[in-house]
Structure 1
Amino acid sequence: MESGESPTDSQIFEVLELLVGEAPPRSFEDLLWEARRHSGGEERSGKLEAAVRIAMDIRATAEQRRRRESALAALVDTTQEISLHHELDGMLNVVTRHARRMLAFDMAYVSLRLPDGSSYVHKSDGDTTALNTGLEMGRGLGLGEMAQGSSAPFWTPDYLTDERFPHSDEIDRVVNSEGLHAILAVPMTYDGRTVGALYGASRAIRHFSPDEVSLLRSLADLSASAIEATRHRDRVQSALASAEAEKTRIGAALTESRSLAEVQAGLTGMCLEGADLHDILRAAASSLGADLVLRNAGGRTMASTGPVPEIPTATVVRAMADSHATAAAIELPDGLWAALVAGGVEGPGILLCKSPEPLSEENRRLLHFTGQSVALVLLLRHNLAPASGPARDEYLADLLSGTPRTPCHFAERARRIGIDPTAPHVVVVLCPDGAKRGEAAIWASSYAYRHAGLMTVSADRLVLFLPGDDASAAARAASDELTQLLGHAVSAGAAGPAKDLAAVSKVYQEALRCLDTLVALGGTGGAAAAGDLGFLGLLLSDDHDVDAFISSAVGPVVEYDAQRSTDLVRTLDAYFTSGGSPSRAAKDLHVHTNTVARRLDRITELLGPDWQQPATALEIQLALRLQRARGAVYRPRTPPLADQADRGGA
């Protein structure tokens, strides 16, 4: 100690020397103990203690500054290491590992938020069980949910015993299994959005300082920025990959389109050069890598490149209608495809394709174009084809309109288009309500060809001119097939057979009246000829076949009387005249009531149990009146007495 210095001054200088030398706290405590032992007064000792306290405060401040500098350096190192990872998993491994090292945690983990607002543990470091990673956090439960919901840190010195926040059984089970006590959770936010939470945990009870909370918060914000950058990079890479895939697809489509255009140009050239059907089909089949078969409306194979399974006529008609409606090839069961072949004198046909693999969009277009090419070949092959279709339409139009022509003229034109003028024909009129009129017209063309008839479209109605003598059966058959094709009931009226071709117009008008009457009576979707409409049919019919009507209504009763000389017809008439009273009918007939009852039983056996129903009873009464009126009109006249005398003399 130099002269002029008091012992306390020298000790204070020694405190400064210890502070400059960054001596441990124990050195300051030893110095203070020695001073108290040799102190000459409390004043000197008090000064030294104040100097030691100041030194310790300075030392603590310096230590805190060093820790902060160290933490900042650790954050810089973490940032550099994070930048080396381009995948989310690798980046989060770095975050959890550095969080443990910087804050001396026993365990650190990260939870990420899903689009629906829930969270799950994505990465964990320091865990001793497999329960933590992948753990789903219940919404609103646990420290992490609270931190994310409020965008503020939350911590607890002892998680399982802390009741300040809602617990989750799943989270509590993991905390207990890992032996955790103190847990600190901070939100991971970026640009005002919370992407998850960063957790630090210790297996002992621990109180976290503001510096520790702040440091973990800084690491969480840094991690949130990296997470969003990684996700953005993934989205960009995904978009680039999608763009590259789309570029490849477009390139392939352009190549295929160019190839399709070349094939189409080749097929067109072959058509114009006079190639036959087999050449066209072989060229198309080679490009399609499939077998092709061309069939006409009647099902006859016209050309083929290989075997194709037989398919029902109903399926063919449906495919023709659908192909016409969509202007494209139609997929059928068992690897078959079909395209309409429209045009030619043989009616619409079908091009069938048997492919081992589903046809691409380009190949479907090629199949449809091949069908058009085949139609062109058919037109070019038949010199009459361009005029034959209009000739058939014009002929049917003349028949239906009743244009005055000689029978010979009609017959000669019929023979030229393949119609037998001597065969009986019926007319069927169908009303295909709805938007599928194009499909219905295609069907009608095929149906007429298959049945050796004619067809036309008039005022949104299909008109069929078909060989046959049963108009009712023809109406039902056509209505049933078109109903199945369109998927809704189709009304049909029919008439005929026509006595000759000149009478077709009257038969057509009768068929129209039958259709209109059927619809007016609420029979939409049904099929009927005049004979199916009872006495209404008698009124609608042009020939008014009274005999046929009487026979249909009471024919069995009339025949029974004629064969057995009974009186059932008169009994039936008396029964209706008496208002349906057997006793009054018996009085009018001058027979016993039991006799009338037995006769009525016999009538029931002959006409069926429903003969007294209002509609049937009305037709029976009308038939009885017609028969009675006809008998009065055509009753043989009684010869004059002179004639009788002459015959008697003879």
Structure 2
Amino acid sequence: MDSAERSGMGEMIDILELLAAEAPSADIADLLRRVRARGAGPGTLAQWERAERLAHRVHTLFSRRQQREAELSALLDTARDLTLPYDLDTLLETITRRTRTLLGLDMSYISFRDAEAGGSFVRTADGHASALTVGFRVPGAYGLGDEATARSVPIWTPDYLSDERLRHTDVLDEVVRAEGLRAIIAAPFKFGDDEFGVLYAADRNIRHFTIGEVSLMSSLGDLAAVAIEKARALERSRADVATLRAGTSTMKSQLVRARELAGLHTGLVDRALAGRSLKELVAELAVALRGAVQVKDAEHRTLGAAGAVPAVDAAEALEASRTASARRLPVVLSTGTWVMPILAGNEELGVLLHHPYAPECEAEEQLLRLAAQSVAVLLRLQSGEAAAASPFRDELFDDLLSSHRPARQILQQAGRLNVDLERPHVVVVIRPEGGEQGRVAGWAAAYTRRMDGLRSIQKGCVALLLPAVDASASAAAVSAELGPLLGHPVTVGAAGPVSGPDLIQRTHQEARRCLDALISLGSAGAHASPEDLGFLGVLLSDNRDAAHFIAVTIGPVLDYDAQRTTELTRTLDAYFTAGGSPTHAAEALHVHPNTVSRRLERITELLGADWLKPEQALEVQVALRLHRTHELLRRKRDLGPDQAERPEPFPWPGEDSADMA
């Protein structure tokens, strides 16, 4: 080996030493320049140039490996950093800051998908100027994010605004332009099958992302997705724990309060059972409820009060009472007063009114219920004591309706109960609707005590025996008082008056027939007696007093004819026979049509303007026919069977004189 070869071998070793020492590429280039300056041959120089190229390649591989090691180290540091127990907002800020630092870019931001509103919104950003702020809504189906989510891989562009491969929208392009962004890369957040957001990194210069940078962005997206899901799960767990703690605390408070209420309820009921007066019980309730208390019965009469309850509109109070009774829950009035029904089973005994002393205090529903129950116990005891004084009053009415005992025994039983059956009485029958028989029965008990009457429940109806002389007026009074209490009209039938025990059962049946007639006629919710039903009352009545019906319906016309010897009754019959035609009626009567018109005017004065309405006109025709039959029977009775001849079609009194009408 000559000196030149030894020199070349030494320089080769120098190159290897430079590579081993990871010297910069410039040192290798200086060595090559020295070789050229020494004047090496073409073959040697070519070998040296090849050696230089190989040395540069090795140097580049070292540089890439070092860069990859640095990236992996940074990624590892980032992964370690993301495992710390951040709250979600702090974690997102850490992710964006790390992403921008690792890739050496100007900006990074995160968007979350909005499933309800569509599209997504920016949750956090780092390095932004002003346009791409937190909360900015990213339109769906546009930009890199939608493409990255659809493909589940990172998507990038060196210059976003000039890249025609992407779907652009003016809103998003304007924000990118305002931020001055050019190169953008987006990696999807995916956890399992849920793709819930996108990680973005952007530069304000045109930039082509390397494969390593794209791979790093993909790894960052995967790590961030796991960390975000962990943070979200942790937040949900914390919220669940907080809810459980709050629920536990609430349950403890409710348990303590339930024990307090149970003790209070027991004390109130014990006081009621111990014979305390209603006044004393109401005073104790006012202390327990911390407000004024007032107790009213089923007829809304005040039974006891402690403190001043503000006056309220009667209609509002009545509506609130109905609502509270239907719901069996307290209802508050516009004045702040609470209304709670006092119930004993299905029977409503009254209402309890409570007005808190402090406006900010709200009534406690359970406490109001317990207070109303204690009052119900006391009222039940008092009503039981009242019933004990005359325990067989209602049984007496049941006996009157079903028993066949001698009247003497019934009168003796009534005398022992201070019931005078020789006085005129009417029977009123009520049909409750909507399953409210209990409420009606409770009201009827109080009503009969007040009216000194009797009560009975017969076949789903509530019957009342009331001392009165006018069945229609009694039915109207019951309907007027009971209807508003129930919140809807009730059907009421009545009959009488009668005196003595023998006719009460028949009068009850007559009242039931009146009620059934109202239902059959589609008049549910109305009230009537046989007198109110006109000719139907004659059919329904057991005594069938046709003369009374005739007198009530056309009596004024009959009296007028009898006093003035006119023919109004005959004209009235001819008018109906002619189908309501005055002209045809005049032909049948052989008078001038004007005469018929004047007679009809006089009939209107006597019977009233409504006599031609269909319902009253029907009753007038029935009364005319009954009167005609009555006259025929009277003539036959007066003449005798041998002298009675066939009468004229209608034996009207008086002469055929139109002027006398």
TM-score (norm 2): 0.86
Alignment counterpart, residue 371 of structure 2, candidates 367, 370, 389? 367
Distance 2:193 2:582 in 1: 100
- Does 243-252 or 29-38 show the bigger shift? 29-38
- Does 553-562 or 30-39 show the bigger shift? 30-39
- Does 488-497 or 132-141 show the bigger shift? 488-497
User: 1:496: how far off?
Assistant: 2.4
CA contact (8 A) 1:429 1:493 kept: yes
Structure 2 residue 219 is the aligned partner of structure 1 residue 215: no
CA contact (8 A) 2:330 2:365 kept: no
SS of residue matched to 2:430: strand
CA contact (8 A) 1:188 1:198 kept: yes
- Does 547-556 or 628-637 show the bigger shift? 628-637
Distance 2:506 2:320 in 1: 35
Distance 1:241 1:108 in 2: 34
Residue segments in structure 1 that go unaligned for 5+ positions in a row: 640-650
Structure 1 partner of 2:123: 122
Amino acid at match of 2:153: A
Structure 1 partner of 2:460: 460
CA contact (8 A) 1:531 1:537 kept: yes
Structure 2 partner of 1:385: 387
Distance 2:492 2:11 in 1: 127
**Following superposition of structure 1 onto structure 2, how do residues 387-406 of structure 1 map, counting pairs within 5 Å?**
388=390, 390-401=391-402, 403-406=404-407
Amino acid at match of 1:140: A
Amino acid at match of 1:228: E
Structure 2 partner of 1:555: 555
Amino acid at match of 2:266: A
Structure 2 partner of 1:538: 538
**Following superposition of structure 1 onto structure 2, how do residues 173-184 of structure 1 map, counting pairs within 5 Å?**
173-184=174-185
SS of residue matched to 2:201: strand
Structure 2 partner of 1:340: 342
CA contact (8 A) 1:329 1:367 kept: no
Distance 1:56 1:178 in 2: 40
Distance 1:149 1:451 in 2: 85
Q: Deviations over 1:98-146 (max 9, x none)?
A: 1111111100111122343632111111111154321111121111122
Residue segments in structure 2 that go unaligned for 5+ positions in a row: 641-661
- Does 612-621 or 362-371 show the bigger shift? 612-621
CA contact (8 A) 2:445 2:455 kept: yes
Distance 2:416 2:472 in 1: 26
Structure 1 partner of 2:649: none
CA RMSD of aligned residues (A): 3.3
**Number of residue pairs aligned between Structure 1 and Structure 2:** 633
User: 1:249: how far off?
Assistant: 1.1
SS of residue matched to 1:293: strand
- The alpha-carbon distance between structure 1 residues 314 and 112, as it changes in their structure 2 partners (threshold 3 A), is closer
- Does 76-85 or 527-536 show the bigger shift? 76-85
Structure 2 residue 162 is the aligned partner of structure 1 residue 158: no
Distance 1:301 1:609 in 2: 46
Distance 2:590 2:424 in 1: 51
- The alpha-carbon distance between structure 1 residues 404 and 328, as it changes in their structure 2 partners (threshold 3 A), is farther
Structure 1 partner of 2:644: none
Report sequence identity in percent. 41
Distance 2:274 2:575 in 1: 82
SS of residue matched to 1:208: coil
Structure 2 partner of 1:504: 504
Amino acid at match of 1:9: M
CA contact (8 A) 1:321 1:443 kept: no
User: 1:198: how far off?
Assistant: 0.7
**Following superposition of structure 1 onto structure 2, how do residues 257-336 of structure 1 map, counting pairs within 5 Å?**
257-309=258-310, 331-334=332-335, 335-336=337-338
SS of residue matched to 1:496: strand
CA contact (8 A) 1:425 1:497 kept: yes
Q: Deviations over 1:572-606 (max 9, x none)?
A: 22333455554554455443343223222332444
User: 1:571: how far off?
Assistant: 1.6
Structure 1 partner of 2:362: 358
**Following superposition of structure 1 onto structure 2, how do residues 41-60 of structure 1 map, counting pairs within 5 Å?**
41-60=41-60
Distance 2:455 2:26 in 1: 118
CA contact (8 A) 2:153 2:218 kept: no
- The alpha-carbon distance between structure 1 residues 411 and 351, as it changes in their structure 2 partners (threshold 3 A), is farther
Structure 1 partner of 2:646: none
Structure 2 partner of 1:249: 250
- Does 521-530 or 107-116 show the bigger shift? 521-530
Distance 1:264 1:169 in 2: 70
User: 1:221: how far off?
Assistant: 1.4
Distance 1:193 1:561 in 2: 101
Q: Deviations over 1:258-281 (max 9, x none)?
A: 112222222233344433333333
**Following superposition of structure 1 onto structure 2, how do residues 621-636 of structure 1 map, counting pairs within 5 Å?**
621-634=621-634
Distance 1:454 1:318 in 2: 29
**Following superposition of structure 1 onto structure 2, how do residues 31-46 of structure 1 map, counting pairs within 5 Å?**
31-36=31-36, 38-46=38-46
**Following superposition of structure 1 onto structure 2, how do residues 130-209 of structure 1 map, counting pairs within 5 Å?**
130-209=131-210
- Does 292-301 or 128-137 show the bigger shift? 292-301
Structure 2 partner of 1:648: none
Distance 1:7 1:462 in 2: 134
Q: Deviations over 1:244-266 (max 9, x none)?
A: 11111111111111112222222
Distance 2:332 2:552 in 1: 49
Distance 1:146 1:347 in 2: 70
User: 1:488: how far off?
Assistant: 5.0
Amino acid at match of 2:107: M
- The alpha-carbon distance between structure 1 residues 392 and 148, as it changes in their structure 2 partners (threshold 3 A), is farther
Distance 1:347 1:2 in 2: 130
- Does 168-177 or 461-470 show the bigger shift? 461-470
Amino acid at match of 1:508: H
Structure 2 partner of 1:70: 70
User: 1:526: how far off?
Assistant: 2.9
Amino acid at match of 2:160: Y
Structure 2 partner of 1:100: 100
User: 1:426: how far off?
Assistant: 2.8
- The alpha-carbon distance between structure 1 residues 63 and 456, as it changes in their structure 2 partners (threshold 3 A), is farther
Distance 1:316 1:391 in 2: 36
Q: Deviations over 1:149-189 (max 9, x none)?
A: 22111111111111212123222111111100000000112
Distance 2:422 2:508 in 1: 18
Distance 2:182 2:297 in 1: 86
Structure 2 partner of 1:429: 429
- The alpha-carbon distance between structure 1 residues 461 and 589, as it changes in their structure 2 partners (threshold 3 A), is same
- The alpha-carbon distance between structure 1 residues 559 and 218, as it changes in their structure 2 partners (threshold 3 A), is same
- The alpha-carbon distance between structure 1 residues 72 and 622, as it changes in their structure 2 partners (threshold 3 A), is same
CA contact (8 A) 1:256 1:362 kept: no
CA contact (8 A) 1:290 1:354 kept: yes
Q: Deviations over 1:197-222 (max 9, x none)?
A: 11110000000011111112212211
- The alpha-carbon distance between structure 1 residues 132 and 330, as it changes in their structure 2 partners (threshold 3 A), is closer
CA contact (8 A) 1:492 1:515 kept: yes
Distance 1:490 1:503 in 2: 26
Q: Deviations over 1:311-369 (max 9, x none)?
A: 678777777776666666555553223231659xx993433322343222431332233
Structure 1 partner of 2:13: 13
User: 1:421: how far off?
Assistant: 4.5
Amino acid at match of 1:370: S
- The alpha-carbon distance between structure 1 residues 284 and 618, as it changes in their structure 2 partners (threshold 3 A), is closer
Amino acid at match of 2:158: P
Distance 2:376 2:228 in 1: 59
CA contact (8 A) 1:341 1:374 kept: no
Distance 1:542 1:315 in 2: 44
- The alpha-carbon distance between structure 1 residues 467 and 58, as it changes in their structure 2 partners (threshold 3 A), is farther
SS of residue matched to 1:188: strand
Structure 1 partner of 2:656: none
CA contact (8 A) 1:329 1:368 kept: no
SS of residue matched to 1:159: coil
SS of residue matched to 1:303: strand
Distance 2:67 2:236 in 1: 39
Distance 1:457 1:20 in 2: 116
- Does 369-378 or 188-197 show the bigger shift? 369-378
